[in-house]
Amino acid sequence: METKTSHPATVDEYISHYPEDLQQILGKIRAVIQETAPQAVEKISYGMPAYFLNGKLIYFSVYKHHIGMYPKTSGMEASIEGLSAYKGTKSSLHFPLDKPVPYELISKIVKFRVAENQKTAS
């Protein structure tokens, strides 16, 4: 797999650094986030695609064997069915590249994060 050689300035640039099959997956993840949280502001933060709406909403990044999604919050595990299949670090979920990407689950995660951020913004 091709890896990033420099810090991308845009999400389009980030996605373009990867092979076509990964570009399609990343584009679909991006579309799911944008459809679920259309008011979110998209930018590159910490070298990865990031979305902000009333604060940090969600980030994603490609690794050798998985796509990482950040942040995973403490309330998420109890509220969203199916997360346990995608264990990552304390604040991330890992979607293995050798399995179908759970786009519907990603939509649920984004909805959950939007609601969390709305509560803290009020």
Predicted confidence (pLDDT) per residue in 33-71, tens digit? 999 999 999 999 999 999 999 999 999 999 999 999 998
Q: What is the pTM of this model?
A: 0.91
Domains and CATH numbers, the chain: 11-121 (3.90.1150.200)
Residue-wise DSSP of 11-54: HHHHHHTS-HHHHHHHHHHHHHHHHH-TTPEEEEETTEEEEESS
Confidence band for 77, pLDDT divided at 50, 70 and 90 = confident
Residue 78 three-state SS: helix
